[in-house]
Chains A and B, each alone.
Chain A
Amino acid sequence: MLKLESKQVNFYYGSSPALKDINLEMESNTVTALIGPSGCGKSTYLRLFNRMNDLIDNTKLTGEVLIDGIDIYKKGINVDTLRKMTGMVFQKPNPFPKSIFENVAYGLRVNGITDKQFIEERVETTIKQVVLWDEVKDKLKKSAFELSGGQQQRLCIARALAIQPSVILMDEPTSALDPISTSKVEELIHELKSKYTIVIVTHNMQQAARVSDHTAFFYLGELVEVGTTKKIFTNPTQEKTQNYITGRFG
């Protein structure tokens, strides 16, 4: 089933086009990797799906961005509801200056949930889901900053999952992590795929190859090629894609 889609999407920062006529479809319960050199538009594209680009002044979007077949930019769309559907994980772990427990509970509380038992259960379930429970169960009231970088990132993923989104957007989620933490996050992506649709921006070609089902290559705001990850990394159709993934770009 089609989960995410963009139709003839153009996006501008001021008068500079950042995305040019992007048509892309992503199925439910798949992982799609967005790759391309810095400034190619992949993060801008990712942020279309939770309307984070709305927070930037002097931008313009044309075309349609759809989740579950609904254009999320049409009038009347509740952005808060949309963002509950789309959890986001960033490059650098960004826990709130709160306890481990409160970081995960945060999304529930701001959504008006006050049932203590419900919150406790959801926090535990979610922390277990990101395979962090055994490491933090005895220090839930401690500051999230006491955790290692890898643990903080998994906590941030738990925070995103607590509000039960159906889409997870990841913007270089392991670029600040060591190889072991990276491996844990990648394993997690694999586990989460059965319940969520995941889009990941990464500069790590091997990571894209390891974790994703599909890969989309962006260059200068254009979607050069999209296909199964296996195809893109063994025999891409476009020469630009081949030059990029083999490190001969430019």
Chain B
Amino acid sequence: MNHFESELGVLKKDFIKMWELVSLQLKNSLSALASMDHEKAQKVMLIEMEVNDLDLKIAKSCENIIALYNPVAVDLRFVLALIKINTYLEKLGDIAAKVSKFVIKSVDPFYNDLINKTQTLAMFEEACDLVDDALIAFKNNDAKKARDIFKRDEFINEINKTAFLAIIDSIKENPANIEKYLKMINLTRRIEKAGDMSKLIAEEIIFYIEAKVIRHDSK
């Protein structure tokens, strides 16, 4: 193994660690949301600091590799994809943290019914699965698995649309609670964004494997 390959190996190891931590954050925040458990929500906030540190470390490693080794072809695509995926993972971590903050701040049982009514947990569960499957696609250089994520993100979008309409109906029925409903819209939108992040990650995996830029494309 040459020096460059060894540096790439270290970077990849950190990167997968970051991915697994973000996945854990998301699962913990899902679990916290399902049971409105403040303790679990607090744990997510603790992991957030570690994720932020890794985000900076990975960004610096990518910069060093480009400056010191001038990677080309597949190596260059790998580093470029990593830079972007790293950003998306950090944003996913933020989403997990914000869901947890929602749990911590929302002591009102009012939300339990609304979470069920809007299928928020199902949407969040699928978003968590997408992040895990994207990691498998990345580890196995599996562009097909990455492509599957696009369709599954549409499922999340559909639930979000339905949830939005359900919340609007509820607002009409019960306008006095509009502030709580708006918080709920905010929550479902964040979870829908987690699906979008997985889609963007899948695009970068395909770019790395196949050298195809598929943004703004029909996939």
Interface residues of A (CB under 8 A from B): 205-206, 209, 233-236, 242, 245-248
Contact = CB atoms under 8 A, between A and B. Distances in A.
Nearest to B211: A235
Nearest to A235: B211
B159 to A, nearest CB: 37
Contacts of B75: 246
Contact of A234 (B4, B70, B72): B72
A205 B69 CA distance: 11
Nearest to B69: A247
6 contacts: A234-B72, A234-B73, A234-B211, A245-B73, A246-B71, A247-B2
B207 to A, nearest CB: 10
Q: At the interface, is chain A mostly helix, strand, loop or mixed?
A: helix
Interface in B1-36: 2, 4-5
Interface residues of B, number: 12
Interface string B145-184: 0000000000000000000000000000000000000000
B66 interface: no
Nearest to A236: B73
Interface string B106-149: 00000000000000000000000000000000000000000000
Contacts of A248: 5
Contacts of A236: 73
Contact of A233 (B2, B4, B5, B73): B73
Nearest to A246: B75
A243 to B, nearest CB: 9
Contacts of A247: 2, 4
Given A234-B211, A235-B211, A246 B73 contact: yes
Nearest to B78: A246
B46 interface: no
Interface in B37-86: 70-77
What 3 pairs across the A-B complex have the smallest Cβ distances? A235-B211, A233-B72, A246-B75
A236 B211 CA distance: 10
Contacts of B73: 233-236, 242, 245-246
A123 B5 CA distance: 50
B71 to A, nearest CB: 7
A248 B2 CA distance: 9
Contacts of B5: 248
A234 B78 CA distance: 11
Given A206-B70, A246-B71, A234 B2 contact: no
Nearest to A206: B70
Given A233-B72, A236-B73, 6 more contacts: A234-B77, A235-B73, A235-B77, A242-B74, A245-B73, A247-B2
Contact of A209 (B2, B72, B211): B72
A242 B4 CA distance: 15
B83 to A, nearest CB: 16
A48 to B, nearest CB: 28
Contacts of A246: 71-75
A205 B77 CA distance: 17
Contacts of A205: 70, 72
Contacts of A245: 72-73
Contacts of A209: 72
